Amino acid sequence: MSDGPSLHPMLEPLEFLVGTWKGKGAGSYPNIEDFEYLEVATFSHVGKPFLSYVQRTRDAATGLPLHAETGYLRPVGDGRAEFVIAQPSGIVEMLDVEISGATIRAMSSTVLQTPTAKQVDAVERHVAVIRNDMRYEVNMAAMGQALRPHLEAVLSRD
């Protein structure tokens, strides 16, 4: 018996994401040094038809904080969802999501930046869950670069 609210029926196609995920990833992009990071990401619900998302990373070598983001994933039916992600660096991603089994493919419909944020033109996020492992890739078009790989990680459900 669960202590929390029941999963909203609209969230059933996204149930495979619910939980806390921990693991390691690597990143690269032109004009920055390649890096490795440790990550904790949580998808949770409160019984309403959306998932809350919180993610934090630390430098794998030093343990210092690197990145954070938070948002909401909301199913809209027919194997689709909308994902809004805000970052403290002044970037907000609005993504259209296709759900297929235990995978999602999210493509930005809009990326907004505050006046002091770095330019980001487009983002793609690909996530696949196999048993208790989540593998993801993030592609990004930013700072004059075409859409290209930026991040990849493997996380395990806690």
Q: Which pLDDT tens digit goes with each residue over 41-75?
A: 999 999 999 999 999 999 999 999 999 999 999 99
Give residue-wise pLDDT tens across range 88-135.
999 999 999 999 999 999 999 999 999 999 999 999 999 999 999 999
Nearest of 83, 87, 79, 33 to residue 60 by alpha carbon: 33
| Sign of the torsion angle spanned by Cα atoms 73, 75, 76, 78 | positive
* Number of independent structural domains in the chain: 1
Within-domain flag for 33: yes
Give the structural domain span for 94: 9-157
Within-domain flag for 75: yes
Within-domain flag for 2: no
Within-domain flag for 27: yes
3-state DSSP call for residue 13? helix
Within-domain flag for 83: yes
Within-domain flag for 29: yes
CATH for 31 = 2.40.128.20
Within-domain flag for 1: no
Within-domain flag for 3: no
pTM: 0.95
